[in-house]
């Protein structure tokens, strides 16, 4: 699963949303989020992000960002 982190805040690009094959991006309060259960882990969004905000959840200390992404994607 890929997850959006705080580098996304104030980013105006939505290149990631356009390439996602399963449309699992949602709008949070001031950044985009990925629904962790809908993401199919394809990885195509990651190089599209100009802010380097999209990270795999296998990186260290990602738990809080996974929960953040889940919370805001499910509020839709
Ligand atoms: Fe969408 Fe693939 Fe990125 Fe997951 S890794 S958010 S499925 S583009």
pLDDT digits (tens, 9 = 90+) for 5-30: 999 999 999 999 999 999 999 999 99
Could you give the C-alpha distances from 25 to 30, 44, 60, in angstroms and in order?
13, 13, 22
Claim: this prediction has a pTM higher than 0.90: yes
Mutate to test the pocket of ligand 1, among 3, 5, 19, 24 (most ligand atoms within 8 A of CB): 24
Pocket flag, ligand 1, residue 75 (CB < 6 Å): no
pLDDT digits (tens, 9 = 90+) for 42-76: 999 999 999 999 999 999 999 999 999 999 999 86
Give the 3-state secondary structure of residue 55: strand
Pocket flag, ligand 1, residue 31 (CB < 6 Å): no
Q: What is the ipTM of this complex?
A: 0.95
Q: Cβ neighbours of residue 54 under 8 Å, at least 6 residues apart?
A: 2, 3, 4, 5, 8, 16, 34, 45, 46
Could you give the C-alpha distances from 61 to 5, 22, 40, in angstroms and in order?
11, 26, 21
Mutate to test the pocket of ligand 1, among 21, 45, 72 (most ligand atoms within 8 A of CB): 45
């Amino acid at each position: 699963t890929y997850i959006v982190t705080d580098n996304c805040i104030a980013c105006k690009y939505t290149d990631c949303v356009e390439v996602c094959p399963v449309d699992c991006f949602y709008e949070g309060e001031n950044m985009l989020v990925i629904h962790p259960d809908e993401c199919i882990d394809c990885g195509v969004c990651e190089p599209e992000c100009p802010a380097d905000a999209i990270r795999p959840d296998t990186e260290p200390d990602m738990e809080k960002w996974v929960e953040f992404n889940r919370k805001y994607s499910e509020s839709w």
